[in-house]
């Protein structure tokens, strides 16, 4: 299996002019580099997904969305469904990101529903899991990760699991330049073992 690098562009690229500069910069950067044995997934804001799909034709590059709603269609103002994301050109979808859990209160149950809909629509889910600082400090980090894994992957069979990417990103380690706040190899191995359960 190839390595995968996913870039969550978040709520950036605010204008069409910024988007064009992003494309030019990206193409220039990768003209100089040979990208082999790695898949690169770019996850722009949804309004740019179709344009990313049309403009980034480089080998090993894919487009993803930053979230989908837990229903396929209906009266859900402002939401994007899995079929809409796929139709716009997305190949991947980020689910369970700490921003979504923090600001939008996404639950493991909702993430589970989103995973099922993503797979049904032909999207590859990138499911984020990880404990927060309070859980780590209280010694409940493993319990939190296990709870997320159990809730997010409820009723997901082994064939479906092979189509899912699990991203362990402890919330307490995000956006820090302090090496003391990075996960240790033991913490990463523990997360891997929990994922195998």
The end-to-end CA distance of the chain, in Å, is: 21
Secondary structure (DSSP) of 81-116: -HHHHHHHT-SEEEES-HHHHHHS---HHHHHHHHH
Catalytic residue among 97, 131, 135, 187: 97
Classify 136 as helix, strand or coil: helix
- Catalytic residue list contains 97: yes
Instruction: Report the alpha-carbon angle 35-38-39, nearest 5.
Output: 105
Tokens of 43: 């996850």
The CA-atom distances, in angstroms, between 114 and each of 123, 126, 127 are 10, 11, 10
Catalytic residue among 50, 79, 142, 169: 169
Q: How many CB atoms lie within 10 A of CB 32?
A: 6
- Catalytic residue list contains 105: no
The set of catalytic residues is 97, 169
């Amino acid at each position: 299996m190839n390595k995968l690098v996913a870039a969550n562009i978040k709520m950036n690229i605010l204008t069409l002019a910024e988007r064009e500069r992003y494309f030019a910069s990206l193409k220039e950067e990768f003209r100089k580099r040979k990208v082999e044995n790695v898949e690169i997934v770019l996850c722009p804001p949804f309004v740019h997904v179709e344009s990313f799909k049309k403009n980034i034709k480089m080998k090993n590059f894919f487009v993803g969305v930053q979230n989908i709603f837990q229903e396929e269609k209906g009266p859900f103002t402002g939401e994007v469904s899995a079929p809409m994301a796929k139709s716009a050109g997305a190949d991947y979808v980020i689910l369970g990101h700490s921003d979504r859990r923090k600001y939008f209160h996404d639950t493991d149950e909702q993430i589970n529903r989103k995973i099922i809909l993503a797979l049904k629509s032909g999207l590859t889910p990138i499911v984020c899991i990880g404990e927060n600082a309070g859980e780590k400090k209280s010694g409940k980090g493993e319990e939190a990760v296990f709870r997320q894994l159990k809730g997010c992957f409820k009723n997901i069979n082994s064939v479906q699991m092979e189509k899912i990417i699990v991203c362990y990103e402890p919330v307490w380690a995000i956006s820090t330049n302090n090496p003391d706040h990075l996960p240790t190899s033991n913490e990463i191995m523990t997360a891997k073992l929990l994922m195998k359960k």
